[in-house]
């Protein structure tokens, strides 16, 4: 049973991070513009998040340090507070976007007024989190998210060009035109960023402590991180393929979540649309919960206050009040009229800009022999971590200028 819980943690973390509202729309758009040529960015992001998620799990188990305790200790209090504010602002933006995405899907399926649906979701989702143990949140959203496999089935049934897909593993694609080159770079950075969103590692390391993983469980840590990440990666590749197969030949740039949902069920029509919607609801709902809980984890871990979903609310008052507050502020943000997809575009690029300040401390602690003992990084682990950190820094430096130059990816 404990192994099952560990696997569902990996699945929920990966699906909530990889296949959230931003990744669904963003990756489909990338396929509609560039075909399979950005496949390499998905593979690179997958390898990076596996490496760092494994480090986070190992550090959480051995040093009993979740991510934001590491950020506080390694960056110092002034810079740590700045990162706390930036990370939680990103969590709020992402949570608001996911709540808006949930309302869009329910509206499409039922025809109910979107604003009414949004209010209902804003009440029911926090209530579900409040009454559920951490393990049941994992099981419900992690395993339900597997319904997203319908997107992969649809992509295969539409007969992708496997040779062209193989060529997409080469990052040095021939792109004609200055604006197209900028767009290519923007979507490459965005896809890479969406696969490394910092709330993934916040949630994963906190979840490992919530489940009371022990050193003897470390043998499963890499498997859990890898399995969830590879699954999320395969679904992301399916989204890229659907954008390539359905939108690129018709010169359509999909700007709505509904377009991606229809693409996921295209070969089967209405029969599969319900499954596509249910799987997407689970993934986006999981992302909303991850970001709300991550905001509470961050604050409590930074200031060393009691935290944990499995603690009675009276024993972790600040933690409980914080994640409830995250949901409330996110709901208000969408209710005042901010469009979910606008929030998504900004959160993906803004997320890239703050990533180095999260992943650098993780690498430092995982390579610290005094803290980690015999479970310290191997030389290979550290070299891989440094290489990916350098790529993260380069992408972070390019993210905001590319967003400005491309008008947030407009063709």
In the chain the domains, ranked by start, together with CATH numbers, are: 2-405 (1.20.1740.10)
Give the model's pLDDT for residue 250: 92
**Measured CA distances, 393 to 189, 192, 316 (Å):** 11, 12, 36
Mean predicted lDDT score pLDDT of the chain: 89
Q: Return the closest-CA partner of residue 263 out of 3, 31, 85.
A: 31
Query: Model-level pTM?
Result: 0.91
| CA 304/CA 64 separation, integer angstroms | 13
For residue 7, the number of C-alpha atoms closer than 13 Å in the C-beta half-sphere is: 8
**Range picked from 28-37, 72-81, 129-138 for highest mean pLDDT:** 28-37
Say if residue 16's pLDDT is above 60: no
Reported as a single tens digit per residue, the pLDDT across 262-281 is: 888 888 877 788 888 998 99
1 pLDDT higher than 50: no
Provide the pLDDT for residue 348. Answer: 82
Rg (CA), the chain: 20
Question: Which of 5, 2, 22, 4 lies closest to 284, judged by CA?
Answer: 22
388 alpha carbon, distance to own chain's centre = 17
Can you tell me the mean pLDDT for 68-85?
88
Distance from C-alpha of 127 to C-alpha of 214, rounded to nearest angstrom = 31
Of 134-143, 160-169, 172-181, the poorest mean pLDDT is in 134-143
Q: What pLDDT does 9 receive?
A: 60
pLDDT of residue 12: 57
What's residue 252's pLDDT? Answer: 92
How large is the average pLDDT for residues 145-174? 91
Q: Is the pLDDT of residue 194 over 90?
A: no
19-28, 58-67, 300-309: least confident range: 19-28
pLDDT of residue 174: 82
Q: pLDDT (tens digit, 9 = 90+) per residue, 336-349?
A: 988 887 887 788 88
């Amino acid at each position: 049973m404990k192994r099952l819980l560990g696997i569902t943690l990996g699945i929920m973390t990966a699906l909530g991070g990889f296949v959230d509202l931003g990744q669904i729309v963003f990756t489909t758009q990338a396929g509609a513009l560039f075909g399979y040529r950005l496949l390499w960015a998905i593979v690179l992001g997958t390898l990076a998040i596996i490496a760092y998620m494994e480090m986070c799990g190992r550090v959480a188990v051995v040093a009993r340090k979740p991510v934001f305790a590491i950020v506080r200790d390694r960056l110092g209090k002034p810079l740590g507070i700045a990162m706390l504010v930036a990370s939680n602002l990103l969590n709020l933006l992402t949570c608001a976007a996911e709540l808006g995405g949930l309302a869009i899907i329910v509206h499409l399926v039922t025809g109910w007024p979107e604003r009414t649906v949004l209010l209902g979701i804003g009440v029911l989702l926090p209530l579900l989190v409040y009454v559920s143990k951490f393990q049941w949140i994992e099981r419900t959203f992690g395993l339900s998210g597997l319904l997203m496999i319908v997107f992969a089935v649809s992509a295969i049934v539409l007969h992708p060009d496997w040779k062209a897909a193989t060529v997409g593993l080469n990052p040095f694609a021939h792109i004609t035109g200055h604006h197209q080159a900028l767009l290519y770079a923007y979507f490459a950075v965005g896809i890479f960023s969406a696969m490394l969103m910092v709330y993934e590692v916040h949630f994963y390391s906190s979840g490992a402590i919530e489940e009371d993983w022990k050193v003897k469980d470390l043998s499963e840590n890499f498997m859990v991180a890898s399995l969830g990440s590879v699954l999320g990666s395969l679904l992301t590749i399916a989204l890229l393929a659907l954008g390539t197969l359905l939108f690129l030949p018709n010169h359509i740039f999909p700007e709505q979540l509904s377009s991606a949902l229809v693409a996921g069920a295209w070969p089967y029509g209405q029969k599969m649309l319900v499954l596509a919607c249910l799987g997407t609801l689970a993934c986006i709902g999981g992302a909303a919960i991850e970001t709300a809980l991550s905001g509470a984890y961050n604050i409590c871990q930074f200031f060393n206050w009691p935290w944990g979903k499995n603690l009675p609310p009276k024993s972790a008052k600040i933690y409980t009040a914080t994640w409830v507050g995250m949901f409330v502020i996110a709901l208000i943000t969408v209710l005042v009229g901010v469009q979910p997809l606008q929030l998504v575009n900004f959160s993906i690029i803004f997320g890239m800009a703050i990533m180095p300040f999260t992943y650098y401390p993780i690498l430092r602690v995982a390579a610290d022999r005094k803290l980690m003992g015999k479970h310290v990084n191997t030389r290979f682990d550290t070299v891989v971590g440094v290489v990916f950190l350098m790529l993260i820094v380069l992408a972070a430096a390019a993210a905001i200028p590319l967003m400005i130059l491309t008008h947030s990816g407009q063709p």
